[in-house]
Amino acid sequence: MSSQTAKLKVDPRDGKLAMAHFYVAFIALALGGLMGLLQTLVRSGKFELPWGIDYYQILTVHGVLMGLVLTTFFIMGFQYAAVSRTAGTHSPAARRIGWIGFWVMTVGTIMAATMVLLKEASVLYTFYAPLKAHWIFYLGMTFVVVGSWLDGAAQIMTYAKWRKENPGKPSPLLSFMAVINTVLWIVATLGVASTVLFQLLPWSLGLVDTVDVLISRTLFWYFGHPLVYFWLLPAYMCWYAIVPKIIGGKIFSDSLARLSFILFLLFSIPVGFHHQLMEPGIDPAWKFLQVVLTFMVIIPSLMTAFSLFATFERFGRSKGATGLFGWFKVLPWNDARFTVPFIGMASFIPAGAGGIINASNQMNQVVHNTIWVTGHFHLTAATSVVLTFFGISYWLVPHLTGRKLTKAMNKLGIIQGWVWFIGMVFMSGAMHFQGLLGGPRRSAFSTYGDAAQAAEWIPYQIAQAVGGSILFLGIILMIIIFVNLAFFAPKGEEEFPVGEAENLEEKAPMIFENWKLWLGITAALILFAYTIPFIDMIQNAPPGSPGFKTWNSW
C-alpha cells in the first residue's frame, strides 16, 4: 500500500534492516578508527606496534573497514531508508532481497577480515597484484560487492513500483538520487568484480599461474573512481534534499539537483586513468582524454556549490538577513543535523581544489602516491562524506529506533563535528604539505638511511599523529552518540526531514527518468574511453606475473 503521498515515517520493518546496516558500519568505524590512530602513531616514529603486528596489516584493515565496509553499509542502509520514506514501504520481496544482501555483505566482510588478521592478505584494499592474498580474501570481497548489488536491487524494485503506480510523474527526489547512486555503483563494480572473478580468484586458487597486472589495475581503477562518487553522492543527497528542510528553507531547484546527479552517473566512470597517469603501457593521448572527462565531472559539483549557497541565502533573507553575507549568521548553528554536514560541505572546497590538481595530467607527477593524496581523500571521504553521514545519523538513527535526539546529544554532536574538523586540519593539512615535499603514502616510519629530505618530513608526521589522536577522540564521541541514539535515548518521534523545492510548479522533466537513455550514454562513454586502450593492453601484453607474498606471516 504505497500511496501517492509517501509516509512520513519509515516502516519499522524497513527501519530494522537499515539499522542492521548501521550496526556493522559503526563497528567498522570504531575498529577502523583505532587502526588509523595506530598508523599515525607509528609514522610519528615514537611508537612501535606490539605483538608482531605489521604496519601494512593495520593499513589494510583501516582501508578495508573505512573505505569499503563503513561506506557501503552506511550508504546502503541510508538509501534503503530514504527510498522507503519517499517512495513508500518496501514490498516483502524487496525487503527479503535487502536482508539477503545484508547478510551476504556481512559474511564477505568477516571472510576478508579473517584473512587480513591471519596475515594472509596484507595487500591493502586496492589489491596490488601481483601481490597475492589468500583466495578467501578475494572471495569475501566478492561477497561484499554481490551483497551490495542485492541491497541495491531492493531499492530499484521499490522505485520501479512507485513509477508504475505514478505514471508520468517525476519520482521523489531522494528516491531518484538513491537509484542513480545504486546504478552508478552497479556499473562501477562490474570492473572490480571482473578482475576478482576472472583474474585474482582463479590465480589465487592456483588454477592459473600468472596475472596480467596492468589489466587488473585498469579494471580496479575503472571501479576506483566511481567508488569515491558512490561515497559522495549520499552526502550530496543530504545537502541537496535534506539540509534545506532541516534549516527550514527550500531546495533551490529540484531539476538542477537531478541534472547534477545524472552528470555524475555519466562522467564519474570513464575516468579511471587519472589514477594511472604515471603508469607505463597506457598511451598519453588516452590518459589525457580521460583527464578531460574527469574535468567534466567537476561541473556538477560547481552546480552543487551554487545550489547550496543559494538555499542558505534564500533562507537567510526570508528570515530578514541583509547585506552580502548576513544570511550566513542566521543559519541554525546550534543544530547538529545542520552544522555537522555543513563542516563537511566547507571541507569540500579544499578537497575539490586538491582533486582538480591530482587530475591535472602531468601535474600529478608532483603529488602522485605522496601522502598529499592521503590528505586529499581524508578531506573528501573522511570529512565531507563521513561528517555528513554522522549528521544523518543524528536524526536517522533515532527516527528508526523510535527515540529522540536529546539536547545533550545534539550538543555532543556539534562538539564531535568541531573536534573532527580540528583533528583533520592537523592531520590532512600536514599530509598535504609533506606530500608536496615528496613524502610517500602507505609507508611505515622510516628515516631512509638518515636522508636529509626524510628528516624534514618527520615534524609533519608528528603533526599527523596529533591530528590522528584528536580524530580518534572524535570517533569515541561518535560511537557514544550512536550507542545512545540506538539504545538509550528517550522514546519519541524524530523527524526524517525531506526538503521541498522552492518552485513547486516547475516539474522535473521526465527525460531525467529515461534510464535507457542515460544508461546508453553511460555505456557509450565507457566504451569510448576504454575500448581502444584495453585492446592495446591485451595485444601488447608482456608475460604474465606469478604471485608474490612480500609480507611476513605470523
Partner 1 sequence: MHMHKFEKIWLIFGIGALVVFLSVVGVSAFYLGNKPPSCLTTIDPKKVDTEAPFDKPGLNKVEGKEWDYELVYVASAFFYNPGEVEVPLGAKVKVIATTKDVVHGFQVAGTNINMMLEPGYVNEIVTTFDKEGEYLVVCNEYCGTGHHLMSSKIKVVK
Partner 2 sequence: MAKAELKSNKKTEIEDSSSLKGTLASVFFLGIFIVVTWVSVYFLFLDRF
Q: Looking only at residues 269 through 328 of this chain, which bind partner 2 when binding is defined by CB under 8 A?
A: 302, 305-306, 309-310, 312-314, 316-317, 323-328
Tell me whether residue 429 or residue 440 sits nearer to partner 1 (CB atom).
Answer: 440
Contacts of 305 (CB under 8 A, 6+ apart): none
Report, in Å, the least distance between residue 241 CB and partner 2. 18
Of partner 1, partner 2, none, which one sits near residue 314, judging by CB under 5 to 8 A according to partner kind? partner 2
Of partner 1, partner 2, none, which one sits near residue 276, judging by CB under 5 to 8 A according to partner kind? partner 1
Among 334, 362, 453, 552, binds partner 2 (CB under 8 A): 362
Residues 49 and 354: their CA atoms lie apart, in Å, by 32
Catalytic residue among 225, 274, 275, 399: 225
Residues 75 and 378: their CA atoms lie apart, in Å, by 18
Query: Do the Cβ atoms of 144 and 72 come closer than 8 Å?
Result: yes
Return the SS3 of 121.
coil
Tell me whether residue 334 or residue 447 sits nearer to partner 1 (CB atom).
Answer: 447
Among 365, 539, 540, 553, binds partner 2 (CB under 8 A): 365
Catalytic residue among 56, 229, 261, 460: 229
Neighbours of 468 (CB within 10 A): 25
Q: Where are the alpha helices (DSSP H) in 437-514?
A: 452-483
If one asks whether residue 363 binds partner 2 (CB under 8 A), the answer comes out as yes
> Segment near partner 2 (CB under 8 A), from 209-217, 243-251, 355-363, 449-457?
355-363
Q: Give yes or no: 258 in active site.
A: no
Among 94, 105, 367, 431, binds partner 2 (CB under 8 A): 367
Report, in Å, the least distance between residue 450 CB and partner 1. 10
Q: Give yes or no: 13 in active site.
A: no
Report, in Å, the least distance between residue 554 CB and partner 1. 13
Burial class (CB in 10 A: 0-12, 13-18, 19+), 42: buried
Report, in Å, the least distance between residue 432 CB and partner 2. 10
Residue 369 DSSP symbol: T
Q: Please give the single-letter amino acid code of residue 387.
A: L
Taking CA atoms, 218 is separated from 121, 200, 308, 524, in Å, by 21, 13, 35, 18
Q: Please give the single-letter amino acid code of residue 179.
A: V
Query: Do the Cβ atoms of 261 and 180 come closer than 8 Å?
Result: yes
If one asks whether residue 466 binds partner 2 (CB under 8 A), the answer comes out as no
DSSP code per residue over 282-343: S-HHHHHHHHHHHHHTTHHHHHHHHHHHHHHHHHHHHTT--TTTHHHHTS-TT-HHHHHHHH
Catalytic residue among 96, 314, 317, 442: 442
Report, in Å, the least distance between residue 36 CB and partner 2. 26
Of partner 2, partner 1, none, which one sits near residue 488, judging by CB under 5 to 8 A according to partner kind? none
Q: Give yes or no: 295 in active site.
A: no
Cell of 71: 561506506
Q: Give yes or no: 274 in active site.
A: no
The counts of H helices and E strands in the chain are 20, 0
Of partner 1, partner 2, none, which one sits near residue 280, judging by CB under 5 to 8 A according to partner kind? partner 1
Of partner 2, partner 1, none, which one sits near residue 350, judging by CB under 5 to 8 A according to partner kind? partner 2
Burial class (CB in 10 A: 0-12, 13-18, 19+), 322: exposed
Catalytic residue among 377, 460, 482, 496: 377
Of partner 2, partner 1, none, which one sits near residue 50, judging by CB under 5 to 8 A according to partner kind? none
Report, in Å, the least distance between residue 451 CB and partner 1. 4
Query: Do the Cβ atoms of 214 and 281 come closer than 8 Å?
Result: yes
Report, in Å, the least distance between residue 363 CB and partner 2. 5
Cell of 327: 544570511
Tell me whether residue 99 or residue 433 sits nearer to partner 2 (CB atom).
Answer: 433
Helix H, strand E, coil C: the string for 500-530 is CECCCCCCCCHHHHCHHHHHHHHHHHHHHHH
Cell of 14: 524497513
Taking CA atoms, 165 is separated from 154, 159, 171, 406, 509, in Å, by 17, 10, 11, 38, 18
Q: Give yes or no: 378 in active site.
A: yes
Handedness of CA 179, 184, 185, 191 (dihedral sign): positive
Q: Give yes or no: 95 in active site.
A: no
Of partner 2, partner 1, none, which one sits near residue 213, judging by CB under 5 to 8 A according to partner kind? partner 1
If one asks whether residue 446 binds partner 2 (CB under 8 A), the answer comes out as no
Tell me whether residue 362 or residue 514 sits nearer to partner 2 (CB atom).
Answer: 362
Residue 450 DSSP symbol: T
Of partner 2, partner 1, none, which one sits near residue 325, judging by CB under 5 to 8 A according to partner kind? partner 2
If one asks whether residue 357 binds partner 2 (CB under 8 A), the answer comes out as yes
If one asks whether residue 366 binds partner 2 (CB under 8 A), the answer comes out as yes
Report, in Å, the least distance between residue 295 CB and partner 1. 5
Of partner 1, partner 2, none, which one sits near residue 445, judging by CB under 5 to 8 A according to partner kind? partner 1
Residues 8 and 554: their CA atoms lie apart, in Å, by 53
Report, in Å, the least distance between residue 439 CB and partner 1. 7
Q: Which residues are catalytic?
A: 225, 229, 376-378, 441-442
In the complex, the residues that contact partner 2 under the rule CB under 8 A are 302, 305-306, 309-310, 312-314, 316-317, 323-328, 349-350, 352-354, 356-357, 360, 362-363, 365-367, 436
